[in-house]
Amino acid sequence: MNDRDLQQKRYLAAGIDIALLLGIVILFFVVASILGFAFSRAGGTSLIGVYLSKVIFFLGALVSLGYVLGRDVVAGSRSIGKQTQNLKVVTLAGAPIGFTESARRNAIFAIGSALHVISATLGLVPCLGAVVNCLLMPLYILGALISLGAGVYEILQITQQPDGARYGDKMAGTRVVRA
């Protein structure tokens, strides 16, 4: 990509979006932990105390997956990071994108979040959840490594492709432009 300024803005926007995603995950983790601890201290073995944190973990997993897939339409064809950098995602024809294009564009990054949803869903099943999650731990680690590898690959694509289009852009028929 010849436009270094656009390239740098894309990297900064991605960093902001990753920080926001981590913030969402941490927020749900902290709320789940505090409420789970509070209910367990107050009620001993209360079912509410046991399952409230699991339900909050599940909701956090859904929100994080939704953000990963739909982040490019959060603020009108822009993620929060792109909005701060004055960038937007458009179709190849220049039209605004919808959720479908955003999901296609970001699907490669959603593997780890999708496995988090599976883990949180299984965690809601009494007894079975902990056993299955333990057995699937190598799959979750693999998902995280795939997401990390995909991120590195996509950064290289932005840098090396003449038009700056990454794999996700090609899959969705999109491009990132100045707003």
Express each pLDDT in 140-152 by its tens digit: 788 888 888 888 8
Q: Report which DSSP code applies to 125.
A: S
- 48-72 pLDDT per residue, tens: 767 888 889 899 999 999 999 999 9
Query: Residue 134: its pLDDT value, please?
Result: 79
3-class SS of residue 133: helix
Say if CB 108 and CB 150 are below 8 A apart.
yes
- Predicted confidence band of residue 42 (pLDDT cuts 50, 70, 90): low
Query: Residue 178: its pLDDT value, please?
Result: 92
CA pair distance 95, 138, nearest whole angstrom: 41
Neighbours of 44 (CB within 10 A): 8
Highest mean pLDDT among 35-39, 100-104, 136-140, 151-155: 100-104
- Tokens, residue 108: 């490669």
CA pair distance 60, 80, nearest whole angstrom: 19
